[in-house]
Amino acid sequence: MVANTYGSVKLEGSVWHIQAEPFVNSRLKRVFPRIPKDGTKGIKLSTSPENTRELSWFIQRYPMVMSGTDRLHMDRLATQHVAVEQRLAELIAGLVPPPVIEMAHPPRDYQSFGAQLTLTAGSLLLADELGLGKTITAIAAIVLSGAFPAVVVAPAHLTRQWEKQIRHFAPNLTVYRTRSGSPYEKDKPGVLVNMTGKRRTKKNQEQMALLPESTLPDVIVTTYDMLKGGWAEFLAQVAKFAVYDECQALAHSTSGRYKAAETLAGGVSFRMGLSATPITGYGCQFYNVLNVLRPDALGSYGEFLTEWCTQESITDPTLFGEYLRREGYMLRRTRKEVGRELPPLTKVIHEVESDTKKLEELAGNAAALARIVLSHNEQFKGQKMQASAEFDMLMRQATGIAKAPYVVEFVKLLLDSGEKVVLWGWHRAVYDIWLEGLKEYKPRLYTGTESGNQKDEAMAAFIQGDCQLLIMSLRSGAGADGLQAVCRIGVVGELDWSPSVIAQCFGRLDRDGQTSPVTGYVLVSDDGADPIMMDVLGIKREQLDGVVLNADEKTLIERVDLGENTLQKLARDFLLRRGEKLPEPSGSSANGTTAGVDHATSLELDTIS
């Protein structure tokens, strides 16, 4: 008996091109929600293992014409997906014994599980809650894999810490931290830099001479910027394992960082992304992060938007999170889940005064910008975007300066009780006021301006020395560890538009190794930019529920909307407080809005001061 066929399937590069009868196309679109509903000239589906397996199942019911070569390729990918799915199911069910990982300081069981899951799946987005030791999990995965050389890509301010942590937990591994933008000696094309992991000294000079300059270390630690500067191509040829720390840096597929990370990922066998908050912009940027870690796992970008998104936001974050975990794409645990619960974090919203006259003086030049922000003339859209950015910066800085003396007085009360305090802010002018007002407590700075050595010295002085106050930039402390050993009080002196940034700040103290209950203060004023920022952040004076990171997937997929509506509200509030007349609407668009300024998604996290 000859079976009927209902169309054809052909492999075209990285897609399956399906041409079938109309009623079969309709059924196929129900099986694959990611297929565009308006496809009329055949259907194109990316050749991810998951897609291919489901397509193979579908054509058992509706046979289609295929070449023998294409059929073999389909069977191979489908079999690959089944095998990985079975191994993941056994691992998650606890049927696979935990591995023995030879490290100087053995990882905890949940960290070993993360390492094992990475090697089983081939890649993993590790999004564990702050303080659970994602760095240790990654080091354990590297050791367990034996896939050397491995590469760790991190923000610039974290590379020293990575080098120290690797030497501490896996001292048998050789480590090299890149110091220039090229793997080759200056003025010596083709001659690799010395990457033995040892510095040249009089004592080891003779020993170093015996080693070839091309000897590669077990682990190479580099930055995202150095990766795009020339290391990516070289490492893609020699590396076998890639770790991307603070992998939210991969959220923008058009950036040079992303292209370099993608190049490296294409040459290695194992990939791992680390971040407690992988996304601080549009939820759909999850696609970009995961596409580096596991190319095509979510299909093409268009397929992903069709299946999971409404416009550019994840439609159902909880369902999407369950899917990522089930497929082994992401692993996220809370302290409670792994038995590492700490005393509850106490969050306090405290209102402080602000110098109204100072605010008026500093923000006086903002009136013209505010009027531009509120204008409705579509002919000056570019001017409005620039004015919005400048107005936001000016208002936030003026607000920070106006309340800075009162922040000083509040922090003094904490310091006089004998506590060590970490104080977070954003603007250099605000830091200067804090430094002067709190100089008797020997404050140190840890911001985007300090060098790596200066940051190390500041941390050492705070943890081991007589420094009682550490002033940190809101966005420069990601990955900083050790503060929890000596400090249980954190103060946010200036607000950030992103809730996850504030959560990360408190997470520096409220993490494994903390023995005392942590108190986090958020100091706000009733003037300037603070009221509008509090509204965006969802901060109420009675609670901080909308700011503190929790286990809900919504904290992983958060959209911090600083578009035109938000900034217009800030501009309108500013002009009304000054008793000025608002601009008359003119020439507004059909919907009354224009494209906004997305500050959150334009930030380069390792270059913010």
Residue ranges with strand state E in 456-603 = 469-473, 489-492, 519-524
Determine the Cα–Cα distance for residues 318 and 300; give it in Å rounded to an integer. Answer: 21
Residue ranges of domains in the chain = 7-86, 104-198+212-338, 346-590
Q: Are 450 and 160 in contact (CB under 8 A)?
A: no
Q: What is the structure's pLDDT at 588?
A: 40
Q: Dihedral of CA 371/377/383/388: which sign? A: positive
What is the per-residue pLDDT across 450-499, written as a single tens digit (0 to 9) for each? 888 888 899 999 999 889 999 999 987 666 788 999 999 999 999 988 77
Determine the Cα–Cα distance for residues 523 and 492; give it in Å rounded to an integer. Answer: 6
As given in the structure block, the two tokens for residue 392 are 């936001």
More confident residue, 238 or 534: 238
User: What number of helices (H) and strands (E) belong to the chain?
Assistant: 22, 18
Q: What is the structure's pLDDT at 553?
A: 39
Amino acid at 461: A
Q: Are 376 and 399 in contact (CB under 8 A)?
A: no
What is the per-residue pLDDT across 15-74, written as a single tens digit (0 to 9) for each? 899 999 988 888 888 887 767 655 556 888 888 888 899 999 999 999 999 999 999 999
Tell me if residue 377 falls in helix, strand or coil.
coil
**Nearest C-alpha neighbor of 360 from the set 111, 40, 577:** 577
**Same fold for the pair 104-198+212-338 and 346-590:** yes
Peptide bond into 149 cis (omega under 30): yes
Please state, as a whole number, how many other Cβ atoms lie within 10 Å of the Cβ of residue 411: 25
Name the CATH architecture for the domain at 104-198+212-338: 3-Layer(aba) Sandwich (3.40)
Between the two ends of the chain, the Cα-to-Cα distance in Å is 73
Residues in a beta bridge with 522: 349, 492
Is residue 214 scored above 50 in pLDDT? no
Name the CATH architecture for the domain at 346-590: 3-Layer(aba) Sandwich (3.40)
Ramachandran sector of residue 400 (left: φ over 0; alpha: ψ -120 to 50; beta: rest): alpha
What is the per-residue pLDDT across 127-169, written as a single tens digit (0 to 9) for each? 988 778 899 999 999 999 999 999 999 988 788 889 989 999 9
Burial 75-113 (b: 16+ CB within 10 A, else e): eebbeebeebbebbeebbeeeeeeeebebeeebbebbbb
Most confident of 10-14, 384-388, 441-445: 441-445
**Nearest C-alpha neighbor of 509 from the set 246, 130, 175, 74:** 130
Determine the Cα–Cα distance for residues 267 and 12; give it in Å rounded to an integer. Answer: 23
For 159-214, give the DSSP string: HHHHHHHHHHH-TTS-EEE--SS-SB-TT-TT-B---SS----TTTHHHHHTS-TT
Confidence of residue 448 (pLDDT cuts 50, 70, 90): confident
What is the per-residue pLDDT across 496-554, written as a single tens digit (0 to 9) for each? 887 778 888 898 898 878 888 899 999 998 888 888 888 767 654 332 222 223 334 34
What is the per-residue pLDDT across 289-328, written as a single tens digit (0 to 9) for each? 999 999 878 888 888 888 888 876 788 888 888 888 888 8
Q: What number of residues does the chain have?
A: 609
Residue at token pair 């020339």: 230
User: For the purposes of burial, counting CB atoms within 10 Å of the CB of 305, is it exposed (0-12), middle (13-18) or buried (19 or more)?
Assistant: middle
